[in-house]
Amino acid sequence: MLVLASNLVDFPVFSIHVGGEITRAIRAVVNPEDLSVIAFELNGGIVDDPEVGNFLMVEDIREYSEDGFIVDSSDVFVASRDVIRLQETLDLNFSLLGLKVVTKQKKKLGKIVDFTLDSNTFSVYQLVVQRPVLQSFVDPQLMINRSQITEIDDYKVTIDHDKEEIKIDNQRDEDKEFVPNFVNPFRKPNYAGQEDESSIPDSSSKTSE
């Protein structure tokens, strides 16, 4: 099932243990390396308690429904410092929303205003791209499948085709090839073109999962 990320803003989180709503998800944390959602940031309700973590890892979501996420209890909530991969992703300060979308030929297609998720895998499935003003009268939005993405950086998403070649189809995400190619601005290449480990934040002081 596909769901708009914007529909998961202020999204209820229910606890089986409590038997009701205990907090709300306010945003998805997207890993730019593979365009997967690894967690949801929480706000309000029980997470206002400083002893309770304010992130919900997707693997701890027991069930997704249109009414909300279902978890066993608040015991599954974590703080960012508790999970290395979560903290490292947050440190990138990455967001799909607002990024420009261009073709490999440098043609500007618009900017990302939303995206759809596969509710089974919590992977980004399509980008919703708002067209520039002059083009928006005829074609206000584009839906771009993740398989068309060739590169992502802090400012733009590059896709493989021109706007006229973009097609929407029903082929499942797992049937499409997607090669992650995120340009991490925090890692500088050394003389051999490899990542300089000295520029990578030391995670040894963080608590592992």
- State how far the Cα of 135 lies from the Cα of 202, in Å rounded to an integer: 46
DSSP secondary structure letter of residue 123: E
In CATH, 100-175 is 2.30.30.240: yes
Query: Does residue 172 have a pLDDT over 70?
Result: no
- State how far the Cα of 46 lies from the Cα of 38, in Å rounded to an integer: 21
The ranges of the chain annotated as CATH 2.30.30.240 are: 100-175
CATH code for the part of the protein at 2-91? 3.90.50.10
Question: pLDDT digits over 78-108, tens only?
Answer: 999 999 999 999 999 999 999 999 999 888 9
The ranges of the chain annotated as CATH 3.90.50.10 are: 2-91
- Calculate what percentage of the chain has a pLDDT beyond 70: 73
Q: Which two tokens stand for residue 127?
A: 């980008």
Query: Does residue 9 have a pLDDT over 70?
Result: yes
DSSP secondary structure letter of residue 201: P
- State how far the Cα of 25 lies from the Cα of 58, in Å rounded to an integer: 11
Q: Note the pTM of the prediction, 2 decimals.
A: 0.74
**Cα–Cα distances in angstroms (integers) from residue 155 to residues 22, 23, 145, 185, in the given order:** 36, 32, 19, 11
